[in-house]
Structure 1
Amino acid sequence: MLAGFTASLTVSGCLNGKDTTTAEVASTSDRLGRLLPLRNLGSSGSAVTNLGAGGDHIGRASERDAQAIIEKALEEGVRFFDNAPLYSDGVAEERYGKFLTPNYRDVSFIMTKTLARNKADALADLDASLARMKTDYVDLWQVHALETPERVEERIRDEIIDALLEAQESGKVRHIGFTGHDSFEGHLKMLEEIEKRGVKMAAAMLPVNPADPHFKSFVTNVLPRCVEAGIGVLAMKTLAYGRFFGGNQGWRRTEVSLEPLIPDVISLEDAFGFAWSLPVTCLVSGMESVQQVSQNAAIARKTWNWNQAELQRRIDALAPFAGPDLEFYKI
């Protein structure tokens, strides 16, 4: 059960680095036009659009399609742009440097990440990311792909948190955070360690979908802890990396082919509405075409505030299908 999770995220604070009042943020527009709904990034003081463009798919698209996806996202009011050096070996970041930052840096909230295991490598990663994206700072820099608590301890021992703080102090990074989809226990370990050290992080990225509560759940174990700590939640794997559409795409358990769950079991709006009815700041979506951008943006514009019963109905619908075949990315 997700008792107490339904909550509205009012906006205030600052958008894209500019201090604003609540009234100014509520206008939800900038020089390019009307924005998608804004939500607070935890207690960081920043507000971001409730839909973000995933960098992985931008890296895998053709260059022409990547440019079109970025420009359509901006046209539809998306201002949150996810990325990582891992995506297509830096090509995704290079495309931001070519198609996003030259003309739209002032209106874009850009996130990237590091897989590095130690401070020196992480800081080198950051400099390389900034060079590829042709920007002198990122809005959010995250430790990428946390795994088990033991692997989290190794990174902390090798000063990964110190790297984040040093980058933030230098001005190369506005906010810091962490991501992961392997083990909710890894997220809990990171939350424990930053609380122990008094480190304030702005965001955590984790799987959020109505199948998750049935199997090694991030939604039930991690999301409430983030909310309590004032950490903004970024939703990923909202469609189970596409497995809600059937098939066997992904990188684990590819020998298992699933029947589609969308649209017969749940709808696309069910999956997205589930995430947006929780205290989630931004749903990061891997969009593969301009049509998908427009489709997802249209859903994002709706008001999502399902009650407990409505959330539970979607969770119950996926009970027969939940587990490691569907959510193959969990350890």
Structure 2
Amino acid sequence: MSGSMPNSEMPYRVLGNTGEKVSAIGLGGWHIGLKHIDEQLAIRIVRTAIDRGINFMDNSWDYNGGVSEIRMGKALRDRYRDKAFLMTKIDGRSKQEAARQLDESLQRLQVDYIDLVQHHEIIRYEDPHRIFDKEGANAALIEAREAGKLRYIGFTGHKDPHIHLHTLEVAATYGFKFDTVQMPLNVMDAHYRSFAKLVLPELVKQNIGVLGMKSLANGILLKSNTVTPIECLHYALNLPTSVVITGIDSMEILEQAFEAVRTFQPMNDEQVRSLLAKTAEVASSGEFEPFKTSSIFDSTAQNPDWLGEEPQRIQQLMPA
């Protein structure tokens, strides 16, 4: 499952059935586009991460109004693109909107192709039906894959593990299998609407690449005063993840990610139970996972126009 590349501090894992080798830690794209992060620092973070062995780069069409992708594109100039496994996400649910957003992402990232494109924020039961409609977003991604604009297709979501399972079921009815799935995997998740308990076994069974996110939930988990950042990262690394994506907004936080990898040892069941016991009480209501229990993290809820129009055939069913 994992091993180190030559001259690298970073262990690598296989990305599901793609055969791709990706760094155990991935660099989150949202943070590098934040207003308080200087562009030169953002570029330095990305390039230092790549120089030291992090090859998985996360991003999204909607992060910081496109600034995250623009900065990532600048960082990946010269020799850096060839060393990176580049992922971004689109919000469009219609074929037309998905194609438009993908082309914008390619322009901002200044690349000919993106390694992995994911349907972003699959957080409603209707989302998979929309993307798999014949006028839906997945048709646009399949066409883009055939045209060489992308290599692999996945989906992400942070709301409810049952919606992830539903999406896998809907995909199967259309004869489609995702290459990757992204979801929250953290020390709180185990106790409330758990992706680790419900979705992870299914992904392992189907050999779909597992992308863990929100391992610290942008620092929110730490406010519970129950666990340290290193414990949070160790827990996520101990799961059968291909990549643990973590937000990095400073050279110190980048160093923390490498420290987590350097000190990581596979945990036995007793060690896992002991760590999860620390968070059991505070995690039971979902308070420290507001991406599950509120709409604050739902950018598509605040910008429904990003999704594009509902399928024509659905509109035609409506009474005049």
Could you tell me the TM-score, scaled by structure 2's length?
0.86
1:208 paired with 2:185, answer yes
* Contact 2:130–2:137 under 8 Å retained in 1: no
1:55 paired with 2:55, answer no
Partner of 2:100: 124
Q: Which has the higher helix share?
A: 2
Indicate the SS of the match to 2:281: coil
| CA separation of 1:298 and 1:147: change in aligned 2, threshold 3 A | same
Indicate the SS of the match to 2:64: helix
Cα distance per residue 1:268-309 (max 9 Å; x no partner): 222111111110011111011011101211211344321222
Cα distance per residue 1:193-250 (max 9 Å; x no partner): 222222232111100011102111111111111111111111101012311222xxxx
1:306 paired with 2:306, answer no
Identity across the alignment (%): 35
Partner of 2:200: 223
1:295 paired with 2:256, answer yes
Report the Cα distance in structure 1 between the residues aligned to 2:253 and 2:45, rounded to whole angstroms: 9
1:280 paired with 2:241, answer yes
Shift of 1:78: 0.9
Q: What are the equivalent positions in structure 2 for 1:53-132 lying under 5 Å apart?
A: 53-60=27-34, 61-132=37-108
Report the Cα distance in structure 2 between the residues aligned to 1:101 and 1:230, rounded to whole angstroms: 33
Shift of 1:35: 5.2
Q: What are the equivalent positions in structure 2 for 1:116-265 lying under 5 Å apart?
A: 116-157=92-133, 158-246=135-223, 260-261=224-225, 265=226
* Contact 1:143–1:179 under 8 Å retained in 2: yes
Question: Quick one: which amino acid aligns to residue 224 of structure 1?
Answer: P
Shift of 1:313: 1.6
Superposition CA RMSD, Å:
1.6
Partner of 1:15: none
Shift of 1:181: 0.2
Deviation beyond 6 Å, 4+ runs, structure 1: none
Shift of 1:113: 0.6
Question: Where do 5+ consecutive residues of structure 2 fail to align?
Answer: 294-320
Report the Cα distance in structure 2 between the residues aligned to 1:311 and 1:201, rounded to whole angstroms: 29
Could you tell me the TM-score, scaled by structure 1's length?
0.83
